[in-house]
Amino acid sequence: MYDGRTRLADYDNSWYQPAPAWKRMLWHLIGRMFINTYFPYPIALKLFVLRAFGAQIGRGVIIKPKVNIKYPWFLIVENDTWIGENVWIDNLAMVRIGRNVCLSQGAMLLTGNHNYRKPTFDLVLGEITLRDGVWIGAQATVCPGVTCDSHAVLTVKSVATRNLEPYGIYQGNPAVRVKTRQINTD
């Protein structure tokens, strides 16, 4: 009989198999050596390693030190995007990042969560899409299932729990639209 309490002993995510165990273990080792490190490897080497594990990476992508990418085979990054130091892409599901996107230091993209309404705290997944020109500020978080539309901005330490509209500047937890982004050409 259910007593209204969480039962983590009954948690079961055995249905979730993102890749064979050998591939996940190999990525954990190689990713830690070449991507999630402060050792100053050339960016070209980092991109080669990510592509070798199935990431689709465009031209001109910059990846700073100590980036944590859960599963590169669930990652698409288009041209001229910057991924800052200590960014965490926790991509249990697909993450699509458009052109000219900036992920500032410490930003988090989280595709997994838990269903707190279930006593077994079931795993819930949601893809993330960052369209062209998006800027995710330092230590900001994008939650599962969120799309940040063209040129939206999520400010420092803000949390996007819902979709962000084009050219909107969002702030807070949960993030709300506070301004419209205007890009000057002069």
The domain ranges of the chain are 20-180
Tell me the C-alpha distance between 80 and 98, whole Å.
Answer: 9
CA 49 and chain centroid, separation: 18
pLDDT value at position 58?
Answer: 98
DSSP reduced 3-state for 77: strand
pLDDT value at position 48?
Answer: 98
Below-70 pLDDT ranges, the chain? 1-2
pLDDT value at position 1?
Answer: 57
Please list, in sequence order, all residues whose beta carbon lies within 8 angstroms of the beta carbon of residue 155, skipping any fewer than 6 positions away. Answer: 137, 140, 169, 170, 171, 175, 178
**Under a CB-based contact definition with an 8 Å cutoff, are residues 98 and 81 in contact?**
yes
Total-model pTM: 0.95
Listed residue (156, 154, 155, 172) closest to 164, CA to CA:
154
pLDDT value at position 3?
Answer: 79
| Paired sense of beta strands 82-83 and 75-77, if any | unpaired
* Distance in angstroms between the alpha carbons of the first and the last residue of the chain: 68
The superfamily in CATH containing domain 20-180 is: Hexapeptide repeat proteins (2.160.10.10)
